[in-house]
Structure 1
Protein backbone atom coordinates (compact mmCIF):
# COMPACT_ATOMS: atom_id res chain seq x y z
CA UNK A 1 0.00 0.00 0.00
CA UNK A 2 2.76 2.45 0.88
CA UNK A 3 2.65 5.73 2.70
CA UNK A 4 0.47 8.58 1.53
CA UNK A 5 2.51 11.43 0.10
CA UNK A 6 1.54 14.79 1.58
CA UNK A 7 2.04 17.56 -0.95
CA UNK A 8 0.65 20.21 1.41
CA UNK A 9 1.28 20.65 5.08
CA UNK A 10 -1.24 22.77 6.96
CA UNK A 11 0.43 24.60 9.81
CA UNK A 12 -1.20 24.35 13.25
CA UNK A 13 -1.71 28.12 13.37
CA UNK A 14 -3.56 28.24 10.01
CA UNK A 15 -7.07 29.73 10.12
CA UNK A 16 -9.66 27.06 10.80
CA UNK A 17 -12.81 29.10 10.22
CA UNK A 18 -14.45 30.04 6.96
CA UNK A 19 -14.23 33.80 6.57
CA UNK A 20 -17.52 34.35 4.73
CA UNK A 21 -17.23 38.14 4.84
CA UNK A 22 -13.86 38.02 3.08
CA UNK A 23 -15.23 35.66 0.41
CA UNK A 24 -18.28 37.84 -0.13
CA UNK A 25 -16.12 40.99 -0.33
CA UNK A 26 -13.92 39.39 -3.00
CA UNK A 27 -16.84 38.18 -5.13
CA UNK A 28 -18.76 41.45 -4.78
CA UNK A 29 -15.70 43.40 -5.90
CA UNK A 30 -14.79 41.05 -8.76
CA UNK A 31 -15.61 42.65 -12.07
CA UNK A 32 -15.74 46.17 -10.70
CA UNK A 33 -12.43 46.90 -12.42
CA UNK A 34 -13.22 46.08 -16.03
CA UNK A 35 -9.62 46.76 -17.11
CA UNK A 36 -8.09 44.15 -14.79
CA UNK A 37 -6.01 41.55 -16.59
CA UNK A 38 -7.92 38.63 -15.04
CA UNK A 39 -11.26 40.20 -15.92
CA UNK A 40 -10.38 40.65 -19.58
CA UNK A 41 -8.99 37.12 -19.86
CA UNK A 42 -12.18 35.58 -18.47
CA UNK A 43 -14.51 37.21 -21.01
CA UNK A 44 -15.10 33.95 -22.88
CA UNK A 45 -16.76 32.40 -19.81
CA UNK A 46 -18.32 35.50 -18.24
CA UNK A 47 -21.95 34.31 -18.17
CA UNK A 48 -21.14 31.09 -16.31
CA UNK A 49 -18.80 32.97 -13.98
CA UNK A 50 -21.58 35.37 -13.11
CA UNK A 51 -23.90 32.43 -12.42
CA UNK A 52 -21.41 30.76 -10.06
CA UNK A 53 -20.62 34.05 -8.33
CA UNK A 54 -24.29 34.87 -7.80
CA UNK A 55 -25.04 31.36 -6.59
CA UNK A 56 -22.37 31.47 -3.91
CA UNK A 57 -23.44 34.99 -2.92
CA UNK A 58 -27.00 33.70 -2.54
CA UNK A 59 -25.75 30.79 -0.42
CA UNK A 60 -23.94 33.29 1.82
CA UNK A 61 -27.08 35.45 1.96
CA UNK A 62 -25.20 38.25 0.20
CA UNK A 63 -26.99 38.37 -3.16
CA UNK A 64 -28.23 41.88 -2.36
CA UNK A 65 -24.63 43.12 -2.72
CA UNK A 66 -24.56 42.32 -6.44
CA UNK A 67 -25.68 44.84 -9.06
CA UNK A 68 -28.90 43.16 -10.18
CA UNK A 69 -29.81 45.75 -12.84
CA UNK A 70 -26.35 45.67 -14.43
CA UNK A 71 -26.41 41.86 -14.52
CA UNK A 72 -29.89 41.73 -16.09
CA UNK A 73 -28.84 44.30 -18.70
CA UNK A 74 -25.71 42.25 -19.46
CA UNK A 75 -27.83 39.13 -20.05
CA UNK A 76 -30.16 41.05 -22.38
CA UNK A 77 -27.16 42.35 -24.33
CA UNK A 78 -25.90 38.78 -24.82
CA UNK A 79 -29.11 37.39 -26.32
CA UNK A 80 -28.93 36.85 -30.10
CA UNK A 81 -31.57 36.84 -32.83
CA UNK A 82 -31.64 33.03 -32.69
CA UNK A 83 -32.64 33.24 -29.02
CA UNK A 84 -29.39 31.78 -27.73
CA UNK A 85 -27.23 33.65 -25.26
CA UNK A 86 -23.48 34.13 -25.44
CA UNK A 87 -20.80 34.20 -22.76
CA UNK A 88 -20.25 37.90 -23.32
CA UNK A 89 -21.08 40.66 -25.76
CA UNK A 90 -19.62 39.93 -29.20
CA UNK A 91 -19.38 36.17 -28.69
CA UNK A 92 -21.44 33.46 -30.37
CA UNK A 93 -24.47 32.04 -28.57
CA UNK A 94 -23.97 28.70 -26.86
CA UNK A 95 -26.25 26.34 -24.95
CA UNK A 96 -24.02 26.43 -21.86
CA UNK A 97 -24.28 30.20 -21.56
CA UNK A 98 -27.98 30.11 -22.38
CA UNK A 99 -28.42 27.73 -19.43
CA UNK A 100 -26.31 29.96 -17.16
CA UNK A 101 -28.38 33.01 -18.16
CA UNK A 102 -31.66 31.19 -17.48
CA UNK A 103 -30.33 30.07 -14.11
CA UNK A 104 -29.35 33.65 -13.25
CA UNK A 105 -32.77 34.94 -14.30
CA UNK A 106 -34.40 32.21 -12.20
CA UNK A 107 -32.25 33.19 -9.23
CA UNK A 108 -33.50 36.76 -9.61
CA UNK A 109 -37.06 35.57 -10.42
CA UNK A 110 -36.91 37.61 -13.63
CA UNK A 111 -37.29 35.39 -16.68
CA UNK A 112 -39.10 38.26 -18.38
CA UNK A 113 -35.79 40.09 -18.60
CA UNK A 114 -35.04 38.39 -21.91
CA UNK A 115 -37.24 38.13 -24.95
CA UNK A 116 -38.67 34.68 -24.24
CA UNK A 117 -40.69 34.69 -27.50
CA UNK A 118 -37.43 35.09 -29.39
CA UNK A 119 -35.97 31.99 -27.78
CA UNK A 120 -36.91 29.58 -30.52
CA UNK A 121 -33.71 27.74 -31.42
CA UNK A 122 -33.98 24.38 -29.62
CA UNK A 123 -30.22 23.80 -29.78
CA UNK A 124 -29.48 26.92 -27.76
CA UNK A 125 -32.43 26.67 -25.41
CA UNK A 126 -32.63 22.94 -24.66
CA UNK A 127 -30.44 23.15 -21.58
CA UNK A 128 -32.19 26.33 -20.48
CA UNK A 129 -35.54 24.52 -20.59
CA UNK A 130 -34.02 21.56 -18.75
CA UNK A 131 -32.79 24.00 -16.12
CA UNK A 132 -36.26 25.49 -15.74
CA UNK A 133 -37.72 22.02 -15.33
CA UNK A 134 -35.17 21.08 -12.69
CA UNK A 135 -35.89 24.34 -10.87
CA UNK A 136 -39.54 23.29 -10.69
CA UNK A 137 -41.08 25.73 -13.17
CA UNK A 138 -44.69 24.52 -13.43
CA UNK A 139 -45.05 25.71 -17.05
CA UNK A 140 -42.32 23.33 -18.23
CA UNK A 141 -42.87 19.58 -18.59
CA UNK A 142 -40.57 17.43 -16.45
CA UNK A 143 -37.23 17.06 -18.25
CA UNK A 144 -34.80 14.20 -17.78
CA UNK A 145 -31.51 15.78 -16.62
CA UNK A 146 -29.39 13.09 -18.29
CA UNK A 147 -30.85 13.37 -21.79
CA UNK A 148 -32.28 16.91 -21.45
CA UNK A 149 -35.44 15.57 -23.05
CA UNK A 150 -39.00 15.66 -21.77
CA UNK A 151 -39.78 12.59 -19.66
CA UNK A 152 -42.95 11.86 -21.65
CA UNK A 153 -40.94 11.70 -24.91
CA UNK A 154 -38.51 9.21 -23.36
CA UNK A 155 -41.45 7.09 -22.15
CA UNK A 156 -43.10 7.16 -25.62
CA UNK A 157 -39.94 5.85 -27.29
CA UNK A 158 -39.44 3.24 -24.57
CA UNK A 159 -36.24 4.65 -23.11
CA UNK A 160 -36.09 4.43 -19.32
CA UNK A 161 -32.72 5.77 -18.16
CA UNK A 162 -31.83 5.27 -14.52
CA UNK A 163 -30.22 8.09 -12.61
CA UNK A 164 -27.36 7.46 -10.24
CA UNK A 165 -28.32 8.09 -6.64
Structure 2
Protein backbone atom coordinates (compact mmCIF):
# COMPACT_ATOMS: atom_id res chain seq x y z
CA UNK A 1 0.00 0.00 0.00
CA UNK A 2 1.34 3.43 -0.91
CA UNK A 3 1.58 6.13 1.77
CA UNK A 4 1.35 9.87 1.26
CA UNK A 5 4.93 10.45 0.15
CA UNK A 6 4.85 7.55 -2.30
CA UNK A 7 1.65 8.87 -3.87
CA UNK A 8 3.10 12.35 -4.26
CA UNK A 9 6.21 10.95 -5.93
CA UNK A 10 4.13 8.93 -8.39
CA UNK A 11 1.98 11.94 -9.23
CA UNK A 12 5.01 14.14 -9.79
CA UNK A 13 6.41 11.56 -12.21
CA UNK A 14 3.16 11.65 -14.19
CA UNK A 15 2.87 15.43 -14.11
CA UNK A 16 6.48 15.69 -15.25
CA UNK A 17 5.42 14.20 -18.58
CA UNK A 18 3.06 17.06 -19.44
CA UNK A 19 3.76 18.83 -22.71
CA UNK A 20 3.04 22.38 -23.84
CA UNK A 21 0.40 21.02 -26.22
CA UNK A 22 -1.63 19.76 -23.26
CA UNK A 23 -0.93 16.10 -23.95
CA UNK A 24 1.29 13.68 -22.04
CA UNK A 25 4.22 11.61 -23.26
CA UNK A 26 5.14 8.07 -22.30
CA UNK A 27 8.56 9.06 -20.99
CA UNK A 28 10.89 12.01 -20.60
CA UNK A 29 11.85 13.47 -23.96
CA UNK A 30 9.13 11.66 -25.89
CA UNK A 31 6.37 13.28 -27.95
CA UNK A 32 2.85 13.57 -26.53
CA UNK A 33 0.34 10.92 -27.54
CA UNK A 34 -3.36 10.49 -26.84
CA UNK A 35 -2.71 7.02 -25.36
CA UNK A 36 -0.37 8.31 -22.65
CA UNK A 37 -2.68 11.24 -22.04
CA UNK A 38 -5.48 8.85 -21.03
CA UNK A 39 -3.05 6.92 -18.83
CA UNK A 40 -2.11 10.12 -17.02
CA UNK A 41 -5.77 11.03 -16.51
CA UNK A 42 -6.52 7.53 -15.21
CA UNK A 43 -3.66 7.64 -12.69
CA UNK A 44 -4.79 11.01 -11.39
CA UNK A 45 -8.40 9.80 -11.29
CA UNK A 46 -7.40 6.84 -9.12
CA UNK A 47 -5.92 9.23 -6.56
CA UNK A 48 -8.71 11.82 -6.88
CA UNK A 49 -6.29 14.41 -8.24
CA UNK A 50 -7.80 15.35 -11.60
CA UNK A 51 -8.20 18.88 -10.24
CA UNK A 52 -4.42 19.46 -10.56
CA UNK A 53 -4.72 19.24 -14.35
CA UNK A 54 -5.26 22.09 -16.77
CA UNK A 55 -8.49 20.54 -17.99
CA UNK A 56 -9.13 23.05 -20.77
CA UNK A 57 -5.64 22.60 -22.19
CA UNK A 58 -5.78 18.81 -22.13
CA UNK A 59 -9.28 18.66 -23.58
CA UNK A 60 -8.33 21.08 -26.35
CA UNK A 61 -5.35 18.86 -27.20
CA UNK A 62 -7.64 15.85 -27.53
CA UNK A 63 -10.29 17.77 -29.48
CA UNK A 64 -7.59 18.88 -31.91
CA UNK A 65 -6.91 15.24 -32.78
CA UNK A 66 -10.42 14.62 -34.11
CA UNK A 67 -10.50 14.34 -37.89
CA UNK A 68 -13.18 15.49 -40.31
CA UNK A 69 -14.64 11.96 -40.61
CA UNK A 70 -15.05 11.71 -36.84
CA UNK A 71 -12.00 9.49 -36.24
CA UNK A 72 -9.13 10.44 -33.94
CA UNK A 73 -5.41 10.50 -34.61
CA UNK A 74 -3.07 9.27 -31.91
CA UNK A 75 -0.71 12.20 -32.24
CA UNK A 76 0.47 14.92 -34.60
CA UNK A 77 1.69 12.31 -37.10
CA UNK A 78 -1.85 11.27 -37.94
CA UNK A 79 -2.17 7.50 -37.34
CA UNK A 80 -5.89 6.63 -37.06
CA UNK A 81 -7.25 3.70 -35.03
CA UNK A 82 -10.48 2.99 -33.16
CA UNK A 83 -8.34 2.63 -30.04
CA UNK A 84 -7.79 6.36 -30.27
CA UNK A 85 -11.53 6.99 -30.60
CA UNK A 86 -12.08 5.14 -27.33
CA UNK A 87 -9.18 6.91 -25.65
CA UNK A 88 -10.44 10.34 -26.69
CA UNK A 89 -14.00 9.63 -25.56
CA UNK A 90 -12.93 8.06 -22.26
CA UNK A 91 -10.48 10.88 -21.53
CA UNK A 92 -13.00 13.62 -22.21
CA UNK A 93 -15.68 11.85 -20.20
CA UNK A 94 -13.36 11.64 -17.19
CA UNK A 95 -12.61 15.35 -17.64
CA UNK A 96 -16.34 16.05 -18.07
CA UNK A 97 -15.63 17.66 -21.46
CA UNK A 98 -17.36 15.28 -23.89
CA UNK A 99 -19.44 18.10 -25.35
CA UNK A 100 -16.31 19.56 -26.95
CA UNK A 101 -16.09 16.96 -29.74
CA UNK A 102 -18.43 16.17 -32.61
CA UNK A 103 -20.06 13.21 -30.87
CA UNK A 104 -22.28 12.22 -33.78
CA UNK A 105 -19.34 11.96 -36.16
CA UNK A 106 -17.26 10.11 -33.57
CA UNK A 107 -19.98 7.48 -33.14
CA UNK A 108 -20.59 7.18 -36.87
CA UNK A 109 -16.90 6.58 -37.51
CA UNK A 110 -16.84 3.78 -34.95
CA UNK A 111 -19.92 2.23 -36.55
CA UNK A 112 -18.22 2.40 -39.96
CA UNK A 113 -15.63 -0.01 -38.51
CA UNK A 114 -18.26 -2.63 -37.65
CA UNK A 115 -18.01 -5.88 -39.63
CA UNK A 116 -20.55 -8.43 -40.81
CA UNK A 117 -19.44 -10.81 -38.03
CA UNK A 118 -20.60 -8.25 -35.45
CA UNK A 119 -17.09 -7.27 -34.41
CA UNK A 120 -15.07 -4.10 -34.99
CA UNK A 121 -11.71 -3.40 -36.61
CA UNK A 122 -9.14 -0.64 -36.23
CA UNK A 123 -10.33 1.13 -39.38
CA UNK A 124 -13.20 0.58 -41.84
CA UNK A 125 -12.76 -2.81 -43.52
CA UNK A 126 -10.13 -4.09 -41.06
CA UNK A 127 -10.69 -7.52 -39.49
CA UNK A 128 -12.46 -7.84 -36.16
CA UNK A 129 -10.23 -8.08 -33.10
CA UNK A 130 -11.16 -8.43 -29.44
CA UNK A 131 -8.98 -5.46 -28.50
CA UNK A 132 -10.70 -3.20 -31.02
CA UNK A 133 -14.07 -4.57 -29.95
CA UNK A 134 -13.37 -3.57 -26.35
CA UNK A 135 -12.47 -0.06 -27.49
CA UNK A 136 -15.47 0.36 -29.79
CA UNK A 137 -18.02 -1.12 -27.40
CA UNK A 138 -16.55 0.90 -24.54
CA UNK A 139 -16.77 4.12 -26.54
CA UNK A 140 -20.35 3.35 -27.59
CA UNK A 141 -21.24 2.61 -23.96
CA UNK A 142 -19.82 5.91 -22.73
CA UNK A 143 -21.69 7.84 -25.43
CA UNK A 144 -24.99 6.04 -24.81
CA UNK A 145 -24.86 4.33 -28.21
CA UNK A 146 -24.83 0.63 -27.31
CA UNK A 147 -28.10 0.11 -29.17
CA UNK A 148 -26.04 0.08 -32.38
CA UNK A 149 -24.30 -3.15 -31.34
CA UNK A 150 -25.73 -6.49 -32.48
CA UNK A 151 -25.29 -8.09 -29.06
CA UNK A 152 -26.19 -11.63 -30.10
CA UNK A 153 -23.93 -11.65 -33.15
CA UNK A 154 -21.03 -10.02 -31.34
CA UNK A 155 -21.53 -12.22 -28.28
CA UNK A 156 -21.30 -15.33 -30.45
CA UNK A 157 -18.11 -14.08 -32.11
CA UNK A 158 -16.56 -13.43 -28.70
CA UNK A 159 -17.61 -16.84 -27.39
CA UNK A 160 -15.80 -18.43 -30.31
CA UNK A 161 -12.56 -16.84 -29.12
CA UNK A 162 -12.26 -19.41 -26.33
CA UNK A 163 -9.80 -22.20 -27.13
CA UNK A 164 -9.39 -25.70 -25.68
CA UNK A 165 -7.09 -24.52 -22.87
CA UNK A 166 -9.85 -22.25 -21.57
CA UNK A 167 -8.04 -19.08 -22.66
CA UNK A 168 -9.29 -16.64 -25.25
CA UNK A 169 -7.58 -15.30 -28.33
CA UNK A 170 -8.05 -11.89 -29.88
CA UNK A 171 -9.01 -13.18 -33.32
CA UNK A 172 -9.48 -16.51 -35.11
CA UNK A 173 -6.55 -18.94 -35.37
CA UNK A 174 -4.39 -17.08 -32.82
CA UNK A 175 -2.97 -18.19 -29.48
CA UNK A 176 -4.78 -17.23 -26.26
CA UNK A 177 -3.62 -14.11 -24.43
CA UNK A 178 -4.42 -12.93 -20.94
CA UNK A 179 -5.55 -9.57 -22.20
CA UNK A 180 -8.64 -11.54 -23.13
CA UNK A 181 -8.72 -14.30 -20.49
CA UNK A 182 -7.79 -12.78 -17.13
CA UNK A 183 -4.32 -14.25 -16.56
CA UNK A 184 -1.30 -12.48 -15.14
CA UNK A 185 1.27 -13.21 -17.83
CA UNK A 186 0.22 -13.30 -21.46
CA UNK A 187 0.38 -17.13 -21.55
CA UNK A 188 1.27 -19.97 -19.13
CA UNK A 189 5.01 -20.13 -18.37
CA UNK A 190 5.68 -16.67 -19.83
CA UNK A 191 7.13 -13.87 -17.71
CA UNK A 192 4.79 -11.72 -15.69
CA UNK A 193 4.71 -7.99 -16.45
CA UNK A 194 2.76 -4.98 -15.22
CA UNK A 195 0.86 -4.60 -18.49
CA UNK A 196 -0.61 -8.08 -18.45
CA UNK A 197 -1.05 -8.05 -14.68
CA UNK A 198 -3.42 -5.11 -15.07
CA UNK A 199 -5.49 -6.95 -17.67
CA UNK A 200 -5.40 -10.09 -15.59
CA UNK A 201 -6.66 -8.40 -12.44
CA UNK A 202 -9.28 -6.48 -14.43
CA UNK A 203 -10.49 -9.72 -16.00
CA UNK A 204 -10.69 -11.44 -12.63
CA UNK A 205 -12.66 -8.51 -11.23
CA UNK A 206 -15.16 -8.71 -14.09
CA UNK A 207 -15.51 -12.42 -13.31
CA UNK A 208 -16.28 -11.41 -9.69
CA UNK A 209 -13.21 -13.12 -8.27
CA UNK A 210 -13.30 -12.93 -4.44
CA UNK A 211 -11.37 -10.11 -2.81
CA UNK A 212 -11.23 -7.78 -5.81
CA UNK A 213 -13.10 -4.50 -6.02
CA UNK A 214 -15.57 -4.14 -8.93
CA UNK A 215 -14.24 -2.61 -12.14
CA UNK A 216 -16.28 -0.58 -14.60
CA UNK A 217 -16.02 -2.40 -17.97
CA UNK A 218 -16.39 0.76 -20.07
CA UNK A 219 -13.80 2.91 -18.31
CA UNK A 220 -11.53 0.06 -17.09
CA UNK A 221 -11.38 1.81 -13.72
CA UNK A 222 -12.75 0.83 -10.31
CA UNK A 223 -16.50 1.39 -10.07
CA UNK A 224 -16.08 3.68 -7.07
CA UNK A 225 -13.74 5.93 -9.08
CA UNK A 226 -16.17 6.14 -12.00
CA UNK A 227 -19.07 6.82 -9.65
CA UNK A 228 -17.13 9.63 -7.99
CA UNK A 229 -16.10 11.32 -11.23
CA UNK A 230 -18.91 10.60 -13.68
CA UNK A 231 -21.94 10.21 -11.45
CA UNK A 232 -20.76 12.37 -8.52
CA UNK A 233 -21.61 9.64 -6.00
TM-score band w.r.t. shorter chain: 0.5 to 0.7
Report how many aligned residue pairs link the two structures: 137
* Unpaired stretches in structure 1, ≥5 consecutive residues: 1-15, 144-148
In 1: Cα distance, 2:60 partner to 2:141 partner:
25
Indicate whether 1:105 and 2:110 are aligned.
no
Aligned to 2:139: 132
Equivalent residue in structure 2 for 1:49, among 36, 41, 55: 36
In 2: Cα distance, 1:61 partner to 1:131 partner:
22
| Larger Cα-atom Rg | 1
Q: CA deviation at 1:87?
A: 1.1
Indicate whether 1:82 and 2:69 are aligned.
yes
Q: CA deviation at 1:129?
A: 4.1
In 1: Cα distance, 2:20 partner to 2:104 partner:
34
Contact conserved, 1:80 with 1:93, CA < 8 A, in 2?
Answer: no
Contact conserved, 1:129 with 1:140, CA < 8 A, in 2?
Answer: no
In 2: Cα distance, 1:20 partner to 1:116 partner:
35
Contact conserved, 2:83 with 2:136, CA < 8 A, in 1?
Answer: no
SS in 2 for 1:52: helix
In 2: Cα distance, 1:75 partner to 1:112 partner:
12
Q: TM-score, normalised by structure 1?
A: 0.66
Deviations 1:30-84 (A, max 9, x none): 22467x9x555344xx101010111011101111111110111011110011211
Indicate whether 1:114 and 2:101 are aligned.
yes
In 2: Cα distance, 1:154 partner to 1:87 partner:
26
Aligned to 1:8: none
Q: CA deviation at 1:109?
A: 2.6
Relative contact order: is structure 1 or structure 2 higher (C-alpha 8 Å, sep ≥ 6)?
1
